[in-house]
Amino acid sequence: MTETVAIIGATGAQGGSVLSSLYASPDKYRIRAITRNVDSDRVRELRTQYPNVEWAAADNNDIGSLRSAFKNTDIVFATTNYLQPEIFAKIDAGDLDAEFNQGKNIVDAAIAEGVKHFIYSSLESPSKRSNGKYTKAYEPEGKQRIEQYVRKHSDKIKGYFVYAAFYFQNFLHAGTWSTNSSGEKTVVFGYPLPADARQAYVDLEIDFGNTVRQILSDRGAHEGKTIKVVEGEYTGPEIAEAFTRATGIPSEYLYYKVPELDRPEINEMLDFFVEFGLFGTPGFTDAQSISAGPFKTVDDFWQRYSAYRPAEH
């Protein structure tokens, strides 16, 4: 039997990975990709790449549009995006529930339309893990509240929870050209974590979506579980060194705060990750233990993207 899967955020990194993985099983899954603007340039690209995907417009702030998008749907994959100007504006105006309210709308719409299975991309609570040291990391706190809201309604909808590590793909947006002390042209990767911060990473494009597919293939074993999607732990310089191994181009790592994201609550979140790491609560299932094959390493990633070069300015 073919099931219909609605993917919230299908044009983004996580939703796009899920779309790609499930699209490879057309006998099992019919995909309905959900986004605000079904006429965007990105959607036009994806329509060409995935011709059998149905596209539906919905706004996470509008439960009616979500209900329409979820009609006759068996499964919803959802991620909520804190890192957008709309959320920032609400947070700055004092609405600390901005992301939670979007997630609540998604859950309520899914329940109202009789969706049976709900996969949510969550994060741990910094406040809880740090015993109150970090209380203003609003993004992970909001995601954890959404997860708990799904769990609260487990009598109406079955929940599954995936926690993504940092993405290797982030480095594709972090490079700039420079010249090193030897006069060689070099790539500098600027990233908002200290050079000695060892953090969990994953090739999101491949292994995140494949993890969701594995969850769906054995739902009884994964219902209510938290699954961490991580390949290994790396420092920024180690990821830059892997780029050099793949391309032969000298590289450097720079601790750099992205101006658009240099906000108190985001800096606190990153400080929390540096001190406590992404994963610390007992009971996680390691996605690699349920994977059909080995996860992609940082060297695998850069071999696939060995043609990557920063834009010339």
Task: Return all residues near 243 (Cβ < 8 A) that are at least 6 apart.
Answer: 171, 187, 189, 249, 251, 302, 308
**pLDDT-derived band at 247, boundaries 50, 70, 90:** very high
- Rounded (10°) angle between helices 98-112 and 138-152: 20
Flag whether pLDDT at 108 surpasses 90. yes
200 DSSP β-pair partners = 233
Q: pLDDT tens digits, residue range 264-290?
A: 999 999 999 999 999 998 899 999 999
The residue-averaged pLDDT of 90-99 equals 96
Give the predicted TM-score (pTM) of the model: 0.96
* Residues above pLDDT 90, as percent of the chain: 96
Flag whether pLDDT at 99 surpasses 90. yes
Residue-level pLDDT at 91: 96
Residue-level pLDDT at 182: 82
Cα–Cα distance for residue pair 155/84, rounded to 1 Å: 32
* Domains by residue range for the chain, with CATH: 3-165+203-229+264-292 (3.40.50.720)
**pLDDT-derived band at 59, boundaries 50, 70, 90:** very high
**pLDDT-derived band at 313, boundaries 50, 70, 90:** low
* Residues above pLDDT 70, as percent of the chain: 100
Residue-level pLDDT at 180: 84
Residues 74, 114: contact at Cβ < 8 Å?
A: no
| Alpha-carbon torsion angle 289, 157, 77, 130, nearest 10 | -60
| Strands 285-286 and 117-121, bridge-based pairing | unpaired
Residue-level pLDDT at 35: 96
Nearest of 175, 172, 169, 173 to residue 188 by alpha carbon: 175
Q: pLDDT tens digits, residue range 175-223?
A: 999 998 888 899 999 999 999 999 999 999 999 999 999 999 999 999 9
